[in-house]
């Protein structure tokens, strides 16, 4: 077995083969599932904790502050300390709340984001399930999270929570459309929904550049609508701290609140990685056709770093939005979607289709 | 409390339900409780419940001598403490017919305008936060810090200075005062551009505030909405112009009036008032005449029997001090007509048939300070 | 047609205003040198309060443990909150007549609103403000302080 | 309009108004029964047009309870102070003016809260600062509260 940071295929095949040689195929499959599950769980926790820290640092710098700097050097253990605090906090049970739904809701939210994570290609060969309808799967699964939010708002027996949940429902139903359509624009260009193929096709140039104008419009629309879909500012109406105190998770405390919190950041990571994969070439290095020397240098950077770098960039963009803009009102939010994003998107798909037909893309 | 027990019961056929905004709510800026009747997200009715931090300042004043009252006025509208002090001092000086030295008038006017700027800075910060732009909060507080430092050096306190006293000020300005004010003006003129970039022109902000909370001029007068909120409804109600006190008759400044009558115009009035205040300070800061920092007063100040009223323009509107004196060293009755109290009364009128998000924006644009309501 | 152009000009102006806003936060993000936060416990050594800062009321003692307070009680009368209590004692003076001296100058920091009237009105300038601002204690009774130090006496010629 | 003319105009409306001594504003003591009628005329008459009630305060004069209205005309820039008094300390009441000046609604609630002065026809006369079950009216001179008021 050769471990290669540029190509994980041989590494994963080796694990698969050695497991199969040790046990029956069914058992091997189950073992693989468990291994992947554990790895994802760890990854989830690490990314979630890091993103919370990153958000706090980014917003601090934008606000002319230092941010967390007490726990550990530069405060890097701050989120771990917070997490321990949340673990030890009392779980408050609300009078007249729907206990079952109240307890299930955080898990639904977290499971939805967890499921979507499995279809993301992290590097060459590092890909849990390579669906041939990967994009569709991700869109479908990631929108399950809204069920959790609705349940949380409904079961909390709190009017603020209910308003927050209803807002979130209206918001996600509308913005799901834009997310889907903007991804569809790229599917028109790529001709496939399989993530691995989409990434492979971008080896000679990212789709953002290949599809130039319509791809760029689609990218912007995707950024806006995915920010809305993850309930982040300026679209954080479901939480709307200054209006609804904390929206749908007003009544949650301790670890259940932490689940919502983690899921929010994980969703952000998810949409950022979809944006990175679909528009910015995923783990593919930055290549300019014809510049052989430049391309070789770019190839020296491992794919995983490329992937993380692109995702981090998109996440940073979303944080930048959140910490600059005031929040929209619910009717303005829907106006933005139905009056601006959706028509633009539809025209954009037509434009892209025309572009593909005429072979005007690169 | 009986009211809490007897909350109006929601009637299903009306599809109205009630939520309590406050006393602990992020956007009521303190302990104000708004009992809001909602239909979906539309505000149908709103009842403010105040008194959570009522300290009985008017009753306490009846026990205190006039110099002692000053420190209580700090704690009414804590964001314009200098102006509150100034009001009481002006009233005492008017009743005793004392001419305060010109230096004192200069110092007081500069301090008042610094107060107005820092109050509007904090208002800008919290208004941005109400609308969801949390970054505004930190920019506003950051720039306000410079004024607090200037105050700390001269008066010894950052927030509740009790700097004015009947007849003058407690101590002379610090030698660094003028220099620091100049530095502040220079810096803030750059920083206020950030304010405009990040909020004033922002499309989301414009949509959130334009056409929200329409208050006509007639309503503003009838409800007694003074200050920047009233001037946002085109009502020329600046006491600095109508009844000038201290140096205001001698400096040139514009009374900022806007005619849109919505939250955005109230916002713009405050933004432009910061420029006007800087303009006033610039005219005064280099010309502070030499002289005493306080007039000679008797050891025990007794107001001649009678009734006195003094109006000043605080950062939030008209502050009135009404004193009934029976000739003793303590006032017989002291009444503060505080701007936030009257401004609160219009909240119900403004937020009818608006959304919850608009209610927050309207509340922010009225710039309510809860201790000023409750006294 | 007009509304058609308005639609696009709205989008254009909206996006432009958003980008202007982002330029402000973006600029601060890339200029960490402008951070104004004070690192409080770390900068404790070189943290200099302004000389007029009203930390707490003190009775000014000189190097010989002498102060200027004769216990007249004017500060007590002037305090709006009753945070000063003067307990004076009578001792026989040099000429044989009983003389009033300060026994205890009690100051309730927890009730003080720092209005400065006691310091301003003290006829012998005995009181002043210290720059101490770390007042937090675990027991409220520790906020009741006796300002005259043990064994201190009044400076000759002040009374 | 200067104070002499103003006084003459008001005496036309309410002949038994008495002027009180005040250096600052023209102060008139008006019989309580005529208050509302006078207030309407002050607001609506074109040459008076007192449209801004900038202060409404209750005062306890010992034997009498009084309400003082500070009025200003934003158009003519003149001022007037109206004063109504009552000897009834058990159930003092005046007519409300909050149908004329909306700002009076809150001020009258405050006056009711602190002095126990009732305002007839007030739309929502409840205590505004204190609890509904608070005993007594704190700003009255005869108010006793052994717990909260410390006598030095």
Confidence of residue A8 (pLDDT cuts 50, 70, 90): confident
Number of separate helices (H) and strands (E) present in chain C: 3, 7
- Whether residue B324 lies within 8 A of chain A, CB to CB, comes out as no
Smallest Cα distance from B131 to chain C, Å: 15
pLDDT value of residue C159: 58
Q: Flag whether pLDDT at C94 surpasses 80.
A: no
- Alpha helix segments (H runs only) across chain A: 9-22, 25-62, 78-88, 99-117, 134-142, 145-155, 159-190, 195-201, 207-210, 212-229, 241-244, 254-279, 292-300, 303-322, 330-335, 342-358
What Å distances lie between residue A196 and A117, A211, A212, B227, CA to CA?
Answer: 14, 19, 22, 63
pLDDT digits (tens, 9 = 90+) for A52-87: 888 888 888 888 888 888 888 888 888 888 888 888
State the best of A243, A331, A334 to mutate against chain B, taking most chain B CBs within 10 Å. A243
Confidence of residue B1 (pLDDT cuts 50, 70, 90): very low
| A to B CB pairs, distance under 8 Å | 83
pLDDT digits (tens, 9 = 90+) for B291-334: 888 888 887 888 888 888 888 888 888 888 998 888 888 888 88
pLDDT digits (tens, 9 = 90+) for A223-278: 888 888 888 878 888 777 777 877 788 888 888 888 888 888 888 888 888 888 88
Asked if the peptide bond before residue C20 counts as cis, ω within 30 degrees of 0, the response is no
State the best of A54, A56, A66 to mutate against chain C, taking most chain C CBs within 10 Å. A66
- Name the more confident of B24 and B187: B187
Distance between CA A146 and CA A281 in Å, rounded? Answer: 28
| Secondary structure (H, E, C), A106-122 | HHHHHHHHHHHHCCCCC
Domain B57-374 has CATH 1.10.645.10: yes
Q: Flag whether pLDDT at B263 surpasses 80.
A: yes
Test C25 with A324 for CB contact under 8 angstroms. yes
Q: Write out the two tokens for A171.
A: 């918001």
| B to C CB pairs, distance under 8 Å | 69
Confidence of residue B9 (pLDDT cuts 50, 70, 90): low
Reduced to 3 states, what is the DSSP secondary structure of residue A240? coil
Domain C44-154 has CATH 3.30.70.3270: yes
* Residues in B touching D132 (Cβ below 8 Å): 1-3
* Residues in D touching B325 (Cβ below 8 Å): none
Q: Write out the two tokens for B231.
A: 């001037």
Chain-centroid distance of CA A107 in Å reads 17
pLDDT digits (tens, 9 = 90+) for C12-63: 888 888 888 888 888 888 887 777 788 888 888 888 888 888 888 888 888 8
pLDDT digits (tens, 9 = 90+) for B171-180: 888 888 888 8
What average pLDDT does the segment B85-107 reach?
87
pLDDT digits (tens, 9 = 90+) for D86-128: 888 888 888 888 888 888 888 888 888 888 888 888 888 888 8
Reduced to 3 states, what is the DSSP secondary structure of residue A59? helix
Of C21, C26, C34, the CB nearest to A64: C34
- Assigned superfamily of D3-94: NADH:ubiquinone oxidoreductase Nqo5 subunit (3.30.460.80)
* Residues in D touching B3 (Cβ below 8 Å): 132
Quote the ipTM score. Answer: 0.86
Smallest Cα distance from B35 to chain D, Å: 13
Test A61 with C26 for CB contact under 8 angstroms. no
What average pLDDT does the segment B69-93 reach?
88
Q: What is the mean pLDDT of chain D?
A: 83
Test A320 with C25 for CB contact under 8 angstroms. yes
pLDDT digits (tens, 9 = 90+) for C124-139: 888 888 888 888 889 8
* Residue at token pair 């694990």: A15
Residues 159-198 in B contacting A (C-alpha not used; CB under 8 Å): 198
pLDDT value of residue B2: 42
pLDDT value of residue A279: 86
pLDDT value of residue C158: 65
Asked if the peptide bond before residue C154 counts as cis, ω within 30 degrees of 0, the response is no
Q: Which residues of C108-139 are buried (b: 16+ CB within 10 A; e: fewer)?
A: bbeebbbbbbbbbebeeebbebebeeeeeeee
Distance between CA B299 and CA B167 in Å, rounded? Answer: 12
- Whether residue B355 lies within 8 A of chain A, CB to CB, comes out as yes
Task: Give the dihedral sign, CA C27/C33/C36/C40.
Answer: positive
- % of chain B at pLDDT higher than 90: 0
pLDDT value of residue A3: 65
Ranges of each domain in chain B: 2-49, 57-374
Direct distance between the N- and C-terminal alpha carbons of chain B, in angstroms, rounded to an integer: 20
Distance between CA C107 and CA C130 in Å, rounded? Answer: 13
State the best of C15, C29, C36, C43 to mutate against chain A, taking most chain A CBs within 10 Å. C29
Chains that touch A (3 or more CB pairs under 8 A): B, C
Of B26, B131, B355, the CB nearest to A326: B131
| Residue D128: strand pairing partners | none
Given the DSSP bridges, would you call strands C98-108 and C144-146 parallel, antiparallel or unpaired?
antiparallel
Test C28 with A62 for CB contact under 8 angstroms. yes
Smallest Cα distance from A148 to chain C, Å: 32
State the best of D82, D99, D128, D140 to mutate against chain B, taking most chain B CBs within 10 Å. D128
Distance between CA A318 and CA A226 in Å, rounded? Answer: 9
State the best of C28, C56, C74, C113 to mutate against chain B, taking most chain B CBs within 10 Å. C113
Smallest Cα distance from A30 to chain C, Å: 47
pLDDT value of residue C138: 92
| Residue D72: strand pairing partners | D52, D79
Q: Flag whether pLDDT at C155 surpasses 80.
A: no
In chain C, which residues touch A (CB < 8 A)? Answer: 11, 18, 21-22, 24-26, 28-29, 32, 34-37, 39
Q: What is the mean pLDDT of chain A?
A: 83
Phi, psi of A48 (to 5 degrees): -60, -50
Confidence of residue B11 (pLDDT cuts 50, 70, 90): low
Q: What is the mean pLDDT of chain B?
A: 85
Residues 75-104 in B contacting D (C-alpha not used; CB under 8 Å): 94
Of C13, C54, C116, the CB nearest to B203: C13
Test A234 with B19 for CB contact under 8 angstroms. no
> Which residues, 6+ apart, have CB-to-CB distance to A193 below 8 Å?
A131, A132, A133, A134, A135, A136, A187
Distance between CA A311 and CA A51 in Å, rounded? Answer: 11
- Whether residue B306 lies within 8 A of chain A, CB to CB, comes out as no
- % of chain B at pLDDT higher than 70: 96
Q: Write out the two tokens for B167.
A: 């007849």
Smallest Cα distance from D12 to chain B, Å: 25
Test C23 with B197 for CB contact under 8 angstroms. yes
* Residues in D touching B304 (Cβ below 8 Å): none
pLDDT digits (tens, 9 = 90+) for D2-61: 777 878 877 887 788 787 777 788 888 888 888 888 888 888 888 888 888 888 888 888
pLDDT digits (tens, 9 = 90+) for B110-123: 888 899 999 999 99
Closest residue in B to C29 (Cα–Cα): B135
């Amino acid at each position: 077995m050769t471990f290669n940071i540029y190509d994980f295929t041989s590494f994963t095949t080796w694990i698969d083969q050695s497991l199969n040689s040790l046990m029956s195929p069914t058992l091997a499959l189950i073992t693989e599932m468990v291994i992947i599950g554990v790895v994802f769980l760890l990854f989830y926790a690490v990314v979630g904790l890091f993103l919370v820290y990153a958000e706090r640092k980014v917003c601090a710098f934008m606000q002319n502050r230092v941010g967390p700097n007490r726990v550990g050097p530069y405060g890097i253990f701050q989120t771990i300390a917070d997490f321990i605090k949340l673990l030890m906090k009392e779980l408050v049970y609300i009078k007249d709340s729907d206990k079952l739904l109240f307890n299930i809701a955080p898990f639904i939210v977290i499971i939805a984001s967890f499921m979507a994570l499995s279809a993301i290609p992290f590097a060459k060969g590092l890909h849990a399930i390579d669906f041939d309808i990967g994009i569709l799967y991700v869109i479908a699964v990631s929108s399950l999270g809204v069920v959790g939010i609705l349940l949380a708002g409904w079961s909390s027996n709190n009017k603020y929570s209910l308003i927050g949940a209803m807002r979130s429902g209206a918001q996600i139903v509308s913005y799901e459309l834009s997310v889907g359509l903007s991804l569809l624009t790229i599917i028109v260009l790529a001709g496939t929904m399989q993530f691995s193929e989409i990434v492979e096709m971008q080896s000679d140039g990212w789709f953002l550049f290949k599809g130039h104008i319509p791809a760029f419009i689609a990218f912007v629309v995707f950024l806006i609508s995915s920010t809305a879909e993850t309930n982040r500012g300026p679209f954080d109406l479901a939480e709307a701290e200054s209006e609804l105190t904390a929206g749908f998770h007003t009544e949650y405390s301790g670890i259940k609140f932490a689940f919502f919190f983690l899921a929010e950041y994980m969703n952000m990571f998810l949409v950022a990685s979809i944006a990175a994969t679909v528009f910015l070439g995923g783990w593919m290095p930055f290549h300019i056709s014809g510049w052989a020397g430049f391309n070789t240098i770019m190839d020296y950077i491992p794919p995983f770093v490329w992937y993380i770098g692109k995702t981090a960039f998109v996440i940073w963009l979303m944080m930048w939005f959140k910490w600059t803009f005031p929040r929209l009102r619910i009717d303005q939010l829907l106006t933005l979607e139905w009056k601006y994003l959706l028509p633009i998107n539809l025209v954009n798909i037509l434009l892209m289709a025309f572009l593909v037909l005429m072979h005007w893309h690169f | 409390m009986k009211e809490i027990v007897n909350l109006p019961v929601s009637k299903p056929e009306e599809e109205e339900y009630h939520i309590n905004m406050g006393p602990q709510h992020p956007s009521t800026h303190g302990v104000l409780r708004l009992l809001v009747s909602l239909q979906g997200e539309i505000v149908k009715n709103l009842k403010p419940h105040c008194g959570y931090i009522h300290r009985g300042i008017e009753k306490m004043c009846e026990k205190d001598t006039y110099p002692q009252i000053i420190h209580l006025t700090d704690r009414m509208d804590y964001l314009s403490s200098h102006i509150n002090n100034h009001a009481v001092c002006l009233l005492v000086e008017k009743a005793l017919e004392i001419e305060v030295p010109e230096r004192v008038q200069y110092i007081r006017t500069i301090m008042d305008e610094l107060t107005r700027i820092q109050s509007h800075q904090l208002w800008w910060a919290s208004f941005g936060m109400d609308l969801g732009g949390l970054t505004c909060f930190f920019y506003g507080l950051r720039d306000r810090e410079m004024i607090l430092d200037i105050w700390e050096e001269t008066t010894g306190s950052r927030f509740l200075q009790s700097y004015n006293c009947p007849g003058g000020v407690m101590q002379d300005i610090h030698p660094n005062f003028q220099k620091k004010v100049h530095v502040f003006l220079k810096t803030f003129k750059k920083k206020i551009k950030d304010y405009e970039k990040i909020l004033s022109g922002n499309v989301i902000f414009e949509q959130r505030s334009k056409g929200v909370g329409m208050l006509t001029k007639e309503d503003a007068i009838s409800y007694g909405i003074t200050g920047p909120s009233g001037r946002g409804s085109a009502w020329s109600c600046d006491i600095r112009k109508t009844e000038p006190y201290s140096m205001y008759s001698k400096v040139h400044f514009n009374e900022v009036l806007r005619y849109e009558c919505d939250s955005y115009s109230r916002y713009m009035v405050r933004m432009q008032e910061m420029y006007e205040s800087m303009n006033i300070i610039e005219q005064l800061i280099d010309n502070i005449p030499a002289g005493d920092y306080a007039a000679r007063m008797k050891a025990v100040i007794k107001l001649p029997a009678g009734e006195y009223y003094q109006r000043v323009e605080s950062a939030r509107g008209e502050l009135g001090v009404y004193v009934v004196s029976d000739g003793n060293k303590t006032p017989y009755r002291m009444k503060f007509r505080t701007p936030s109290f009257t401004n609160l009364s219009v909240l119900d009128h403004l937020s009818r048939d608006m959304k919850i998000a608009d209610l927050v924006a309207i509340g922010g644009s009225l710039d309510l300070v809860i201790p000023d309501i409750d006294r | 047609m007009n509304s058609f152009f308005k639609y696009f000009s709205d989008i254009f102006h909206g996006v432009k205003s958003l980008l202007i806003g982002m330029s402000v936060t973006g600029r601060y993000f890339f200029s960490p040198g402008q951070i104004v936060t004070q690192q409080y416990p770390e900068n404790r050594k070189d943290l200099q309060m302004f000389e007029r800062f009203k930390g707490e009321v003190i009775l000014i003692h000189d190097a010989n443990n002498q102060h200027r307070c004769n216990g007249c009680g004017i500060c007590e009368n002037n305090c709006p909150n009753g945070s000063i209590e003067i307990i004076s004692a009578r001792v026989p003076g040099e000429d044989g007549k009983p003389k009033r001296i300060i026994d205890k100058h009690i100051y309730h920091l927890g009730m003080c609103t720092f209005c400065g009237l006691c310091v301003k009105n003290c006829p012998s300038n005995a009181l002043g403000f210290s720059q101490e601002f770390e007042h937090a204690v675990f027991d409220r009774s520790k906020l009741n302080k006796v300002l005259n130090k043990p064994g201190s006496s009044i400076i000759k010629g002040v009374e | 309009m200067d104070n002499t003319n103003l006084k003459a105009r008001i005496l036309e409306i309410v002949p038994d108004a008495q002027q009180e001594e005040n250096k600052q504003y023209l102060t008139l003591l008006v019989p309580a029964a005529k208050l509302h009628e006078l207030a309407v005329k002050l607001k609506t008459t074109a040459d008076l047009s007192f449209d801004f009630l900038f202060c409404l305060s209750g005062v306890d004069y010992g034997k009498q309870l009084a309400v003082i209205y500070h009025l200003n005309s934003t158009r003519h820039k003149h001022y007037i102070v109206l004063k109504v008094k009552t000897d009834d300390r058990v159930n003092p009441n005046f007519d409300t003016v909050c149908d004329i000046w909306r700002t009076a609604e809150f001020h009258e609630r405050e006056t009711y809260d602190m002095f126990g002065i009732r305002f007839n026809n007030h739309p929502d006369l409840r205590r505004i600062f204190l609890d509904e079950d608070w005993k007594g009216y704190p700003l009255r001179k005869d108010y006793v509260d052994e717990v909260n008021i410390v006598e030095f």
